[in-house]
Structure 1
């Protein structure tokens, strides 16, 4: 469901509770453009968990393929500085 930013300004976040009874997410439209997504905290936690699981799986695949390097914290910081 898409709601207007002005509705959020005038009605406040209290309007979210009622809307979440029928939808899983709210998109906030600002000046004609969809700009933000509001999720119930439990839905957010579910999505975040899936995101972290996927990152873990990708990391394990990189390790299996040897796509990593071992370096000290100091070496890593120097590498980051050189990239800037």
Structure 2
């Protein structure tokens, strides 16, 4: 796993990130010995977001096919949600 410590990031800055991303698509930033953040190229991030949205759309389509939804007005929807709290 390609890891950069928070201290290295502080001292070397973005150049450390850029050099590490040349060898790997992702870079883990560790803080006090624990992996906390992931840095990646913006194109890869955009692709991951696209996959995430496609999965959400497929989940919604599946719910509709299986009848797992309710048709109701906005007011009724808010009332139902409020009563469930």
TM-score of the superposition, structure 1-length normalised? 0.87
1:3 alignment counterpart: 4
Q: CA deviation at 1:57?
A: 0.8
Q: Distance in 2 between matches of 1:59 and 1:40?
A: 29
Deviation by residue 1:22-47 (Cα, 9 ceiling, x = unmatched):
11000011111111111110000111
Cα distance change, pair 79–13 in 1 and its aligned pair in 2 (3 A): farther
Give the superposition deviation at 1:76. 2.5
Q: How does 1:5-84 map to 2 (within 5 A)?
A: 5-84=6-85
CA RMSD of aligned residues (A): 1.4
Distance 1:35 1:65, change over 3 A: same
Normalised by the length of structure 2, the TM-score is 0.86
Task: Give the gaps of 5 or more residues in structure 1.
Answer: none
